Structure 1
């Protein structure tokens, strides 16, 4: 059994477990926490079932965080991955195991109990994208988990009402954004030239994985309609994914190749927000989209579909506009409204920036996570409380 250290003796070992080393909402949250948790109190490492992007491993190396690849690249590799995880928990003397998303929650919770890890946590980030089988797996995993964090109130309510989590097990810790980093975005003249964006061009942008769930095909339909009324516009899509070829095919079909920019995956997205006059997120499902927080911090006016926790960031007619999912006509009208009412758009972005600074900062997310860690460690080991 792993003993919990006294604060005065040594650091608390925390392990984050995720599906893969790649780029996404939950993965970004883990990276931020690993980078900013107090190094005087915690020794953090990150473990994933497999590696999708080797550059993520390099990013962790640069910030001094150790990583472990379980090598679970196929079904027959799962037993070896579980054995490796059990060894890591024992050899690293893990005190806090923080599992993100369905299968890490399931395998991590069971492995953590086998190794008597003092604190086992889960994290819920999704709404409306899973089936009953996954709900069953999550409810089973929750039996072995001490507490589950939800990235928004919407996700918390979904976890209780739809998945079937017990209410006392859920705690809301909002995703956070580095407001200082995104608040200083400026136009990159080199990229402006690279993407052939001329003076006076109105740029509509979005950042995220190019998947069907993100609804980008509807953004393209809306863009095509808006362009009939406002020809001097461009669409900037930052991200990569399996829908890219389909989206490019649409652009070729309607002769939009020179007007739609596929910037691909970018390690640093801040400069791209500096190029945007408007940010649009047409998703069919979200937990608590970090890209909306980034757009808010960067001062970009926002349009988003009313899904998941998006409505906790974009307050309709106050910090931006909310629309229905899959409605390209409504999206087109919202874009036209933003273009033709720049003063109102600027007021939306001013209020959004103020809101993100007050409620959704990176500092707040880190502080609340540390408070959770300290509280759970304190519950399982009362002697950890500060001595006079």
Structure 2
């Protein structure tokens, strides 16, 4: 099957990672995959996979941006030349683009809903989800039905998947060199990998970390990610006088190496569709502390595959960090259980198989419509 993915950009983050990973998995299953986006660091990964990338001027959050029209003109000839059979949109802007492209070419499109949206009038009046919408968790599916008023039969639940082979044990010399390069010293490392925005709850982790230091003075906090809140978060570490123990690192492509520098992983999100970085941390065998919000409980059974905490609860975060850093056996057990759960239930192969089946259903429906 000839498949076109369209996403706004390929900078490090959940949606671009999903796009690149799924493209890779589908290509291995014999499909021809093209990715159209505004570009970014992950486009290099596509080049290494020998997957064609079409650069669009589509970096916008406006559903009325003229960039959509320019991208439409650019793609019209390409979808015909490449004999594209299905289009897969990843963001609201690319849903609009896919809708227009589908109307002009007759090629069906679907969308993936990666999180939660405010159900404003325009989004409900013009849903533009396509022939089907993939929900990455039960929580997202519930949101689509309850808030966005989408019929259940129009939704397909397909959890995100991880290629666990990429998270195998990394050479200790590489890990030590990486730690030295970013300034980490001897001592335990608590980490988070997420864009620097309100919804990810970095503020609560930093405030909780202040409470941990008196008990474990040599502990360090590694914050990996980019975003508009960086200056505010850096200032917070200075206000709390903990800046010497907190390390900010930009988003990096080698996620397994980044995670290997951590001893435990914390995700204090206020809202989360499923939690790709949680899955990555679990695939790396890390014990995870996370807020019990959105789809996170799909990944974590409390005290079995991680620790669930109330959102925005700095005291609970601090106590959980201290518990895992002082009870190494518990941390190891939670990490091993979580890794096994990811391998068995959230593999990239399983996600690709489910998506492939959905494509076939949608393309089959269109073929059937054309016959009558």
- Partner-residue secondary structure (3-state), 1:304: strand
CA positional deviation for 1:140: 3.0
Q: Which moved more, 1:308-317 or 1:17-26?
A: 17-26
Q: Does 1:249 align with 2:235?
A: yes
Q: Does 1:192 align with 2:182?
A: no
Matches of 2:88 and 2:58 in 1, distance apart?
19
Asked whether the 8 Å contact 1:185–1:273 carries over to 2, the reply is: no
Unaligned runs of 5+ in 1: 1-11, 383-388
| Cα deviations by residue, 1:97-154 (Å, 9 ceiling, x for unpaired) | 111122212331232122111x321111102x434246415x5313xx2211111121
- CA, structure 1 residues 259+40, in 2 after alignment: closer, same or farther (shift >3 Å)? closer
Matches of 1:43 and 1:177 in 2, distance apart?
21
Q: Does 1:148 align with 2:133?
A: yes
CA positional deviation for 1:225: 0.8
Asked whether the 8 Å contact 2:119–2:148 carries over to 1, the reply is: no
Matches of 2:233 and 2:153 in 1, distance apart?
43
Matches of 2:357 and 2:68 in 1, distance apart?
34
Matches of 1:39 and 1:318 in 2, distance apart?
33
Unaligned runs of 5+ in 2: none
Aligned to 1:282: 268
Matches of 2:45 and 2:330 in 1, distance apart?
39
Q: Does 1:182 align with 2:167?
A: yes
Count matched residues. Answer: 362
Asked whether the 8 Å contact 1:186–1:275 carries over to 2, the reply is: no
CA positional deviation for 1:338: 1.6
Asked whether the 8 Å contact 1:319–1:351 carries over to 2, the reply is: yes
- Partner-residue secondary structure (3-state), 1:369: helix
CA positional deviation for 1:210: 1.3
Aligned to 2:24: 35
Q: Does 1:132 align with 2:120?
A: yes
What is the alpha-carbon root mean square deviation over aligned residues? 2.0
Q: Does 1:59 align with 2:48?
A: no
- Partner-residue secondary structure (3-state), 2:213: helix
CA positional deviation for 1:260: 0.7
Q: Does 1:104 align with 2:94?
A: yes
TM-score norm. by structure 1 comes to 0.87
- Partner-residue secondary structure (3-state), 2:67: helix
Matches of 1:83 and 1:94 in 2, distance apart?
15
Aligned to 2:218: 232
| Cα deviations by residue, 1:272-331 (Å, 9 ceiling, x for unpaired) | 222211100011111111111111111111100112111100111211111122221221
Aligned to 1:15: 4
Asked whether the 8 Å contact 1:186–1:271 carries over to 2, the reply is: no
